[in-house]
Each structure stands twice: as structure tokens, then as C-alpha cells.
Structure 1
Amino acid sequence: MDLQALAIEEAALKTLADAVNDRLKEVKQTMQEALVETGASRVDANLPDGTKVATISRSDAKPAAVVTNPEAFLDWVRKNSPHNVSTRLVTEVRPAYTTALLAEMTAAGAAVVADKETGVVEDVPGVEIRATRSLTHSVRPTKDGRDRIAAAWRDGELGHLNLPQIAAAPAKEAS
């Protein structure tokens, strides 16, 4: 085992991975902005010869109920379901009840709860329906997409892309 050879290989791979990951973040952000701007939900990734190698698919944020004002929520639960409030050093709504109520409100698409006995629908203060994850997209290669991209890379067919180069470190000024 050549420890020095492994050390330089790992250092080189880490440097390359960092450069690729930095560029990937930039491209992913630009792609997301383009998907939103154009309204496209899906785009095929094709090699220069037209071969489809992947599909980019937009995922929209899913709205869900979240507690935004714990005090107002606690006051509402105290009035409407006091057995689901526990008092210790901290007074809080029982987590299982919070989870159940939030799930019910998420399903309803509104911060409201219907009384099971009377059917009266009531607003729940301290809760809002909000997007719980940011907009994103996924890249799904075709069955042989990774192999085709690797071959195109080896054959120099991806030279038109703005792929990262490892830049020299900026020169330090003498003090």
C-alpha cells in the first residue's frame, strides 16, 4: 500500500469534487430559475447528437399546516381540547395532538378544524398553511444515460459546456 499515492489521489479527487459541486450548485439554481420562469415542469437532457440521457423534472412545494404562533395555538387548544395540554415546567400542547391537528389542517388546505360532534368549522389561531420545502427539481438519467454521458465526456463531445476547471489560487501580495 502506497500511502503517499493514496494521499495525493484523495487530495486531487477532493479538489475536483469541490470544483464540480460548486458549479453544480450554480447550474442547479439557474435551472430552477429557468423552470419557474418558463413554467416548464420537465426538460429532456440530450447529447449534441440528440440522444436523450436524462430528464429534469420540477417538484413544486407542497403546502402544509405549521404552528407559527405557539402561544395562540396553545390558548386555542386549552379552550377546545384541554386534555391535550400538559403542564410541566413548560406548558405545551401534546405533540401527538399537534401532529394530528396539523395533518387534518394540511388535508383541508386551511388552518381550520371541524368539531367532530357539531360540525362547526373553527379557525385555529397560530397556524398557517405554508410551503414546507423550497422549489426543487430532480435529474433522472435514462437507463444508459450515465454511460452515454461518460462516453461523450471521454470523446470530447461536451467541450461546449461550462464545466469547471481547477483555477490557480490567487497570488498573495507581499506585505
Structure 2
Amino acid sequence: MSLKDIATRTVVLQALADAVDAELKAAKAEQAAGLKQAKQDAGTRQIEATLPDGTVVAKVTLVSPMPSAVVSDNAAFTAWVRDNRPDQIKREFVTTVHPAFVTSLLKEMTAAGVPKWCDKETGEVHAVPGIVMQPRATSTRTTWEKDGKNSVAAAWKAGRLAGIALPELTAGGAE
């Protein structure tokens, strides 16, 4: 294969990948919105993805993660750490909190679902200033059946996907 042929093959594959990627992003957004609405309307959190012949190839699940703790006011948070856990202060030209402590603290608060921290040594529960619980985006998760991807590939090669997405690409491929 000549360099020109390789370059042509590469740009054609890139153009196809870009077209599929754009279509995939739009489909995922539509899927997430549809599942979110289905959950509100009927409590549906999961749906099967099937080929036109009825073959189940995957299950798509709505994932609604719990809010996560984030530092919203660094000065207030740093002042609290300085007063309550001075061993976690890193002194330089500026006062900062040890990054590992921030990570640990935010992880604990995220697990608890509240911007509070319990000192394991004293049992005292602290409402930590400068921390808020931030909602995380709802997303979907695809769980493929054992031969799901192979079934999709076979349906594509047989030209059975034209009505689903990108008809110019899904009319069938070469072996």
C-alpha cells in the first residue's frame, strides 16, 4: 500500500469516526433524557437494547450518582482545618491544606452525603465551612450481553441496521 493510499484510508476513517462520534454524543444525550423521563413517569431505570430481529445485545441503566463534596470557599475551609486539624496544614509562603487530607475529607463527606466531618478521636461532628454538596450529572451505563457486540457487527454486515442510525453507514459492510 502506498503512502498516499495510507493517508487516504486514514482521513476516510477519521471522517467516519467523527460522524459516528457526533451521532453517538447526540444519541447518548437523547438516551439519558429518555431514561430520566421514564424513571420519573414509571420508575424505569433500565431498558434492553435489541436488534431489529429482537436479539438483546445490551442493557442500558440510568445511573444517578449521589452528590459529591467539593470545596466552595477555600479560605473558610482552610481556616477550619487550621483550627481543627493543624497537623494537616502545609505552611509555605501561603497557607494550604495537604491535598491528601482534602481528598480524604471530601471522600468521607461524599460517602456521608453531608458537608460534615466526624473526628474519629473525639467523636465530635464538625460542620465544615467552605464545603458544599454538589449534584453530579445523571448518566447511563451500558452492560453488554456476552455476544452483544458480535451480534451488532453481524447485523451491520448483513445490512439490518439501516433504520437505526447513520443509514449511509449502516446499510452493510464488507467482511
Deviations 1:70-117 (A, max 9, x none): 000011112112232222112111222222322332232211123445
- Asked if 1:114 corresponds to 2:118, the answer is yes
Conserved in 2, the CA contact under 8 Å of 1:20 and 1:164?
no
Gaps of 5+ in 2: 170-175
> For this pair of structures, how many residues does the alignment match?
165
Greater fraction helix? 2
3-state SS, counterpart of residue 33 of structure 1: helix
The one-letter amino acid of 1:88's match is E
- Asked if 1:96 corresponds to 2:103, the answer is no
Conserved in 2, the CA contact under 8 Å of 1:61 and 1:134?
yes
**Residue 172 of structure 2 aligns with which residue?**
none
Conserved in 1, the CA contact under 8 Å of 2:66 and 2:113?
no
The one-letter amino acid of 1:81's match is R
Distance change in 2, residues 1:74/1:52 (3 Å): same
Conserved in 2, the CA contact under 8 Å of 1:84 and 1:97?
yes
**Which portions of structure 1, spanning 4 or more consecutive aligned residues, are displaced by more than 3 angstroms?**
115-118
The one-letter amino acid of 2:149's match is R
Conserved in 2, the CA contact under 8 Å of 1:23 and 1:164?
no
Describe how 1:151-162 pairs up with structure 2 within 5 A: 151-162=154-165
| In structure 2, C-alpha distance between the alignment counterparts of 1:138 and 1:103, rounded to whole Å | 23
**Which residue of 136, 142, 159 maps to 2:139?**
136
The one-letter amino acid of 2:28's match is K
Conserved in 2, the CA contact under 8 Å of 1:53 and 1:146?
yes
What is the TM-score of this pair, normalised by structure 1? 0.84
Deviations 1:118-171 (A, max 9, x none): 43322110011223x4221122332222222222222222222231648xxxxx
Q: Which has the higher contact order (CA 8 A, sep 6+)?
A: 1
**Residue 148 of structure 2 aligns with which residue?**
145
* CA RMSD, Structure 1 to Structure 2 (Å): 2.0
**Residue 7 of structure 2 aligns with which residue?**
7
The one-letter amino acid of 2:148's match is G
**Residue 48 of structure 2 aligns with which residue?**
44
| In structure 1, C-alpha distance between the alignment counterparts of 2:156 and 2:118, rounded to whole Å | 59
**Which residue of 53, 56, 63 maps to 1:59?**
63
**Residue 173 of structure 1 aligns with which residue?**
none
The one-letter amino acid of 1:33's match is A
What is the TM-score of this pair, normalised by structure 2? 0.84
